Amino acid sequence: MDLNELTAHEILDLVKSGKTTPSDVNQAVLKNVKDKDKNVKAYVRTCDDAELTTPKTGAAFPIPIAIKDNICMTGQETTCCSKILFGFKPTYDATVIKKLKASGALFVGKANMDEFAFGSSTENSCFGPSRNPWNLECVPGGSSGGSAAAVAAHEAIWALGSDTGGSIRQPASFCGVVGVKPTYGRVSRYGLIAFASSLDQIGPITKDVRDSAILLNIISGYDEMDSTSINTPVPDYTKALTGDVKGLTIGIPKEFFIDGLDPEVKKSIEDAIEVLKKKGATFKEVSLPHSEYSVATYYILATAEASSNLARFDGVRFGLRKQPSTLRKSPIVDMFEETRDAGFGAEAKRRIMLGTYSLSSGYYDAYYLRAQKGRTLIKNDFDKVFTECDAILGPTAPTTAFKIGEKSDDPLSMYLSDIYTIAVNLAGIPAMSLPCGFSKAGLPIGLQIFAKNFGEETMLRIAHAYEQATEWHKKKVKL
């Protein structure tokens, strides 16, 4: 097997026993990027700075990683795959990057994403879409599609993504890898370019559950630079991987098994339930009665927050600036308008308009305030279920990966593909996706596990027990 096909924990074991070196692994990954990325297009930029790519002696985790292009790295162009940030080189590292550097990480490059993380397919990237390594005609999911495609195509050993409404879990599901959205406040958002600040969270995308536990340990922890970071100790997540789920009660929300859920996905989830039952978990039907409002609630709150977060991109301080050729209103206003018109793509403009509308006087109470109330009801549903269950289980996405172009003219059908992922962000709880099957067409299917706030250990424990009992994570892309 090629070194780039290994998991991080396998690599660390081999390095420890002297059977390989971080440098050999890095070379294997870089060669694979050179060979494969012209087809996969997982990366929008590779790192060529020796500081970031040379293994350091004695490093604890010298593992090649892909970084979503909305996470700031000193001196490395960071664009959120938006023209408006062309040329923007942050002067500081995001906290997760600082932690990765301290762990000895090897940075392969910046991964493709939907512009400002607006989307579920990476088709909204100003650099064009990434492709699903299992079928190059399909999307890898989004918005962290480049990160998930890089891991699935063995162009990185693991990756960081960000998840505002499913952007780690849905691409993980489409690409047959593991993706974790941590509890809101578990991982610092400092240096993550904000989409919707009350929902955003950075998390790992990896080849198996153990790697997710390891990477989550590396990036988690309180950070005084993020006022929403929570000061609670970080357990050793790998200790939760006992292989045992006896005594755990897992809820199955009846609202999840609805029209629009692909029968092949449904079957794989039912099979996964059987696997976990055999391992000793108890299942019970539960209800999340307000989940039907989650898409509407999310798209009001997320666009409202996005419209104010994106106000800072005006051509003055960051990235692109267009100098108007004729005077219309005033030199400065003309410059703002032309810069924003040229810099933002269609979906970003749509969201700025939607968000500005729902925050405007006269509509605020009808939309924004109502959505905030909806958010509380959705969160209360989860709180109630977690008084009787240790975790919840369901599909990550209603379908497998769709074809490039299939939904790009229909924003509503694209938004509906987030139906199973977005309630989690509204509630702040952790959730993850892991492979649980393949469709007849050969596309991966994802199983989603939800836990209560700071319940990552229970979630990872169930995921790992399921993974131990199945072989899905061992299936490798051949490109």
Chain residues that interact with ligand GLN, rule: CB under 6 A: 117-120, 143, 163-167, 195, 302, 418
Q: How far is the CB of 456 from ligand GLN (least distance, A)?
A: 18
From the centroid of its chain, how far is CA 451? 17
Cα dihedral sign for 259, 141, 449, 272?
A: positive
Rounded to the nearest 5 percent, the helix, strand and coil shares of the chain are: 40, 15, 45
Strand-strand pairing, 391-395 and 444-450:
antiparallel
> Whose Cβ is closer to ligand GLN: residue 62's or residue 161's?
161
16 flagged as catalytic: no
Q: How far is the CB of 305 from ligand GLN (least distance, A)?
A: 11
Task: Name residue 381's amino acid.
Answer: D
143 flagged as catalytic: yes
Q: How far is the C-alpha of 456 from the C-alpha of 374, rounded, in Å?
A: 25
> Whose Cβ is closer to ligand GLN: residue 164's or residue 188's?
164
Q: How far is the CB of 459 from ligand GLN (least distance, A)?
A: 18
Which has the closest alpha carbon to 165: 416, 347, 380, 409? 416
> Whose Cβ is closer to ligand GLN: residue 119's or residue 140's?
119
Rg (CA), the chain: 21
Q: How far is the CB of 116 from ligand GLN (least distance, A)?
A: 8
68 flagged as catalytic: yes
Which has the closest alpha carbon to 174: 152, 202, 201, 204? 152
Place of tokens 């399921």: 466
Task: Name residue 229's amino acid.
Answer: S
Q: How far is the C-alpha of 313 from the C-alpha of 321, rounded, in Å?
A: 10
> Whose Cβ is closer to ligand GLN: residue 64's or residue 179's?
179
> Whose Cβ is closer to ligand GLN: residue 219's or residue 286's?
219
Which residue in the shown chain puts its C-beta closest to ligand GLN?
167
Whether 452 and 429 have beta carbons less than 8 Å apart is answered as yes
The secondary structure of 96-117 as a DSSP string is HHHHHHHHT-EEEEEEP-SGGG
Residues 6+ apart with CB under 8 A from 380: 290
Q: How far is the CB of 226 from ligand GLN (least distance, A)?
A: 18
Catalytic residue among 143, 229, 291, 433: 143
> Whose Cβ is closer to ligand GLN: residue 265's or residue 424's?
424
Catalytic residue among 41, 68, 99, 181: 68
Q: How far is the CB of 365 from ligand GLN (least distance, A)?
A: 24
Helix (H, G, I), strand (E, B) or coil at 285: strand
Catalytic residue among 167, 212, 229, 439: 167
Catalytically annotated residues: 68, 143, 167
